């Protein structure tokens, strides 16, 4: 009996100790669950706060943003200096003297005008040969006039030859004090025929080759008329010079109108 009592006492003691050890932890869990449920219920029952979409900014507490100068980040300006290089090339031989300057071309003694220019072809056994034929009148515009022709492989050579012949064939005209012809003249050369008569105060009334010859000769106040239908400028110039060569200073002016 004693052993059973002791065993029961031990069991009871163990149960009491077990109860003493488990009861506080269980109570703590129950309390924590209750508190959590109350908090959830309070959160769910509480209304949602109204949020202002425009945030309120306190300007007093905002520090001003640092100002960055535009010149701080700008690259430093570069200054370019021209390199002082010596001039290219060396000094001229014989110094800076480049020789005598070209003299101005002297004015020709006579004025010239090309009346006719043609390209001439000559057929030979070796083929065709081309040359130029030129007719030139020359004068000093003071009563002297001449006519000449020339041929050459180029125009410059032909003009030079014709000018020299015109100087060799120069004639002097017996003009009046007013610069006109003293009387009427007419002439015929080949198919060309011309009439010239003085016209004081009217100037030069003529055209084509007749006018060219009168201007180069320096004649004023004259009327020139071609009585032929030819358009050959060389023959027309020749007939005018032929007519002017027949002038005589002893004859009186017949037509004054």
Question: Mind listing the pLDDT tens digit for each residue in 122-141?
Answer: 898 889 999 999 999 999 98
Residues 170 and 134: their CA atoms lie apart, in Å, by: 17
Same domain, 190 and 238: yes
Does 154 map to a domain? yes
Does 165 map to a domain? yes
Average pLDDT over residues 189-202: 91
Does 4 map to a domain? no
Range of the domain at 200: 185-245
Does 202 map to a domain? yes
Does 192 map to a domain? yes
What total number of domains does the chain contain? 2
CATH code (residue 156) = 3.30.160.20
Q: What is the per-residue pLDDT for 76?
A: 62
CATH code (residue 198) = 3.30.230.10
Does 36 map to a domain? no
Q: What is the dihedral of CA 68, 72, 73, 77, to 10 degrees?
A: 150
Q: Please determine, for residue 228, whether its predicted confidence score (pLDDT) is greater than 60.
A: yes
Q: What angle do CA 51, 57, 63 make, to 5 degrees?
A: 155
Per-residue model confidence as pLDDT tens digits over 62-118 = 656 556 555 555 566 777 677 777 767 666 665 555 656 677 777 778 899 999 999
Q: Please determine, for residue 50, whether its predicted confidence score (pLDDT) is greater than 50.
A: yes
Three-state DSSP class for 163? helix
Same domain, 241 and 189: yes
Q: Please determine, for residue 200, whether its predicted confidence score (pLDDT) is greater than 60.
A: yes
Q: What is the per-residue pLDDT for 36?
A: 80
Give percent above pLDDT 70 in the chain.
67
Q: Which of 121, 143, 172 is the last residue before a domain boundary?
A: 172
Average pLDDT over residues 203-217: 91
Q: What is the per-residue pLDDT for 99?
A: 58
Same domain, 140 and 193: no
Of the two residues 201 and 64, the one the predictor is more confident about is 201
Does 214 map to a domain? yes
Per-residue model confidence as pLDDT tens digits over 229-256 = 888 999 999 999 999 999 887 665 554 4
Average pLDDT over the chain, rounded to whole? 78
Of the two residues 99 and 39, the one the predictor is more confident about is 39
Does 34 map to a domain? no
Q: Please determine, for residue 17, whether its predicted confidence score (pLDDT) is greater than 50.
A: no
> What distance lies between CA 22 and its chain's CA centroid?
112
CB 135 within 8 A of CB 155: no
């Amino acid at each position: 009996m004693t052993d059973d009592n002791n065993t029961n006492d031990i069991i009871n003691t163990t149960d009491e100790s077990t109860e003493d050890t488990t009861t506080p932890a269980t109570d703590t869990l129950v309390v924590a669950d209750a508190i959590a449920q109350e908090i959830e219920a309070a959160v769910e029952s509480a209304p949602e706060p109204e949020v202002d979409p425009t945030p309120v900014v306190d300007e007093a507490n905002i520090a001003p943003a640092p100002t960055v100068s535009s010149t701080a980040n700008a690259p430093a300006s570069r200054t370019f200096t021209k390199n002082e290089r010596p001039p290219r090339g060396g000094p001229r031989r014989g110094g800076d003297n480049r020789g005598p300057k070209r003299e101005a071309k002297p004015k020709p003694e006579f004025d010239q005008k090309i009346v006719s220019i043609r390209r001439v072809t000559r057929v030979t056994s070796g083929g065709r040969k081309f040359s130029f034929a030129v007719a030139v009148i020359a004068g000093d515009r003071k009563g002297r006039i001449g006519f000449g022709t020339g041929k050459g492989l180029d125009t410059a050579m032909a003009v030079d030859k014709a000018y020299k012949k015109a100087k060799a064939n120069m004639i002097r005209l017996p003009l009046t004090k007013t610069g006109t012809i003293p009387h009427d003249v007419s002439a015929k050369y080949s198919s060309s025929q011309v009439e010239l008569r003085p016209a004081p105060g009217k100037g030069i009334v003529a055209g084509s080759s007749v006018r060219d010859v009168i201007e180069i000769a320096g004649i004023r106040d004259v009327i020139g008329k071609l009585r032929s239908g030819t358009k050959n400028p060389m023959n027309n110039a020749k007939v005018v010079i032929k007519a002017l060569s027949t002038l005589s200073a002893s004859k009186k002016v017949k037509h004054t109108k």
